Structures are given as C-alpha cells and as structure tokens.
Amino acid sequence: MDTEQARTFLAIAAHGSFIAAASQLHLTQSTVSARIQRLEETLNARLFVRNRSGASLTPAGRRFLEYAKRLVFTAEQAIHDVGSSSRYRATLRVGGRIALWEGFLPQWVGWMRRTNPDVAMRTEIGFEDDLMRRLIEGTLDMGLMYTPSHQPGLIVEHLFDERLILVSSRPDVHEPGSGYVHVDWGASFHAQHRQSFPQMETPALVANIGWLAIQLVLANGGCCFLPVRLAQPFLTTGQLFPVVGAPEYDHPAYMVYPQKAESMVLEQAVQGLREVAKQQGAWQS
C-alpha cells in the first residue's frame, strides 16, 4: 500500500466516479483502475461497487476511508516537517475552534513567533471531535476548544472563561425573538439557556459556530449569543447592540496536549498560552 493508492481511493470516494477521479488527478482511467485493484489485493477486500451512475463505497471501503485520510495526512505532514528549511528546529501543529482564532490564538501565534522564530507552525480550525481524535492519533500537538473529552495520555487545562452575551441588530430588543439565531456553544450553554428561557420554542435558525451566526444576523437582522471578543468590534461600530438585561454565561476555553510529550517547544507553547490567557481574562473582567 502507498500514499498514491490512498489518494486515488479518496478521489474516487469524493467524486463518486473513476472517470471523475482520473480527471481530477490528471491520470488515465486505466491507471486509476490499476491502483485500486492493487489496493484491493493488498487489503483483500473490495472497496467500490461500480455501476452506470459511477462508483460507491462498499462496507469495507467505508471502513478504509478514515485510514486512507490518516495515511495521506501523515505523509503530507512528514514531507512538511522533514523537508522544511534547516532554519526551523521544530514544527508545532495547533488546531482550535474558529472562535478562539478570533483575537486570542493569533496573539499567541505572535508571541510564539517573537520568542521562537526558529519554530515553524501549522495552524488549523477544527471542532472538538476532530481535534480530540487528532490529538489521540498524534497528528496534532495542541488543541484549543470549549468542550474537550478527557482521554488517557492527554492533559486538559482550563485557560480562561469566555463571557457569552446576547447581541442584536437593533437597539430596542429586550429578549430573543423570531430572528434569534441559536449558536451551538455546547452542552453547558444549552443547559443554562434552557434555564433562562424555559418557554422558548425550538429556534428556526441554528448555527454551529459564532462566526456564522454573526453573518446571519448582520444580513437578515436578529440576535444571538456571542463571546465578548467576537462581538466587541461590531458593538464598537454600531452594527450590533447589547441586549440590556439579558443573561450572560461563562463559557470555559481549554487547551489539550500530550501528557508525556518531551518537547521544549511544546512546553514553551503551553507557557505562552497561559500568559496570553491571563491577559485575555483580565481584559474580559
């Protein structure tokens, strides 16, 4: 098995067709078919069912899908790390929720670049499930998130508490109404939200990230709960307004990293996050 076979498999799975995959990979259809045949022989399993409409994954193909993704990702990461310029002594792989990349994590990246200019960084956006999986697999060095799961071999450390406030596109709003966009901030937020608004019907609009809720509210009007960090620029310009008297919720942010990682770079990165988090907490208090 090689990475080119895995890439070809992923292309077919994504496009649902050997022909489309061949076009996307700039290969002949016979080359694509030969690669999949060799891969199936290696795995001793049939990966695709071919029909007039294209190709669909077999149960074995669906099981192999995640392995193929990991194989390709690991190969790309090895090329990046090993082939990077000699001026970099290490590479740090960091993933975080998109809301934490608003202000907080870019400040920390700046701190890392100033204190460790010889460390390359790979930065990504992700959700908790994917970030935790990557940390367990070892394809991510640090994860920044709101609702981590506790896993053996990983340290979960509280960084600071976000403050979620209700903001609206109009200054005369006093509570969530028909234009309310419910942001999925996690189980703790849902529990507090139900307690604050026990009679509220299921919202017509739900967003999985705060950034998306902002776009919906700015474009169509309405209100949503946002971290103060995300809301502040829009409050300053008058695009959004705080809903006076609305409840506010604490929303803790965490960093997760390997327990036994013997890396001076990782230790410095963790210390830097702690320092930036203290500044963040002081700003929000």
> Can you name the CATH fold of 3-82?
Arc Repressor Mutant, subunit A (1.10.10)
Per-residue pLDDT band for 247 (boundaries 50, 70, 90) equals very high
272 to each of 85, 137, 268, 279, how far by Cα in Å? Answer: 24, 24, 6, 11
Give the helix/strand (H/E) hosting 29.
helix 29-43
Helix axes 228-237, 210-220, angle to 10 degrees: 20
Q: Rounded to the nearest 5°, which phi and psi values hold at 18?
A: -65, -40
| Spatial separation of the C-alpha atoms in residues 35 and 41, rounded to whole Å | 10
User: What percent of the chain is predicted at pLDDT more than 90?
Assistant: 65
Per-residue pLDDT band for 203 (boundaries 50, 70, 90) equals confident
- Nearest Cα to Cα of residue 259 among 130, 139, 156: 156
Give the helix/strand (H/E) hosting 155.
strand 154-168
- Lookup result for tokens 């390709």: 72
What residue spans define the domains of the chain? 3-82, 90-155+253-284, 161-251
User: Sign of dihedral through CA atoms 36, 40, 46, 47?
Assistant: negative
Instruction: Categorise residue 262: left if φ over 0, alpha if ψ from -120 to 50, beta otherwise.
Output: beta
User: Sign of dihedral through CA atoms 202, 203, 208, 210?
Assistant: negative
Average pLDDT, the chain: 89
What integer pLDDT is reported at residue 262 of this predicted model? Answer: 65
Query: pTM surpassing 0.75?
Result: no
| Spatial separation of the C-alpha atoms in residues 260 and 283, rounded to whole Å | 33
Give 258's strand partners.
154
Q: In this structure, how many other beta carbons lie within 10 angstroms of the beta carbon of residue 103?
A: 16
Q: Which residue has the higher pLDDT, 152 or 36?
A: 36
What integer pLDDT is reported at residue 156 of this predicted model? Answer: 96
Query: Mean pLDDT, to the nearest integer, of 140-145?
Result: 94
Instruction: Check whether 164 has a pLDDT greater than 80.
Output: yes
- Tell me whether domains 90-155+253-284 and 161-251 share a fold: yes
User: Could you name the CATH architecture of 90-155+253-284?
Assistant: 3-Layer(aba) Sandwich (3.40)
Summarised one tens digit per residue, pLDDT across range 249-285 is 999 999 999 887 667 889 999 999 999 998 876 555 4
Length of the chain: 285
What integer pLDDT is reported at residue 145 of this predicted model? Answer: 96
Summarised one tens digit per residue, pLDDT across range 108-124 is 999 999 999 999 898 99
Q: Rounded to the nearest 5°, which phi and psi values hold at 155?
A: -100, 130
Per-residue pLDDT band for 163 (boundaries 50, 70, 90) equals very high
| Spatial separation of the C-alpha atoms in residues 214 and 234, rounded to whole Å | 9
Summarised one tens digit per residue, pLDDT across range 62-108 is 999 888 888 887 787 676 666 655 677 788 999 999 999 988 999 99
What integer pLDDT is reported at residue 84 of this predicted model? Answer: 57
| Spatial separation of the C-alpha atoms in residues 24 and 59, rounded to whole Å | 25
Q: Which residue has the higher pLDDT, 70 or 10?
A: 10
Give 101's strand partners.
none
Pick one of 3.40.190.10, 3.30.1520.10, 3.40.50.1820, 3.40.50.10490 as the CATH number of 161-251: 3.40.190.10
* 95 touches 129 (CB < 8 A): no
Query: Mean pLDDT, to the nearest integer, of 240-247?
Result: 95
What integer pLDDT is reported at residue 140 of this predicted model? Answer: 87
| Spatial separation of the C-alpha atoms in residues 271 and 228, rounded to whole Å | 24
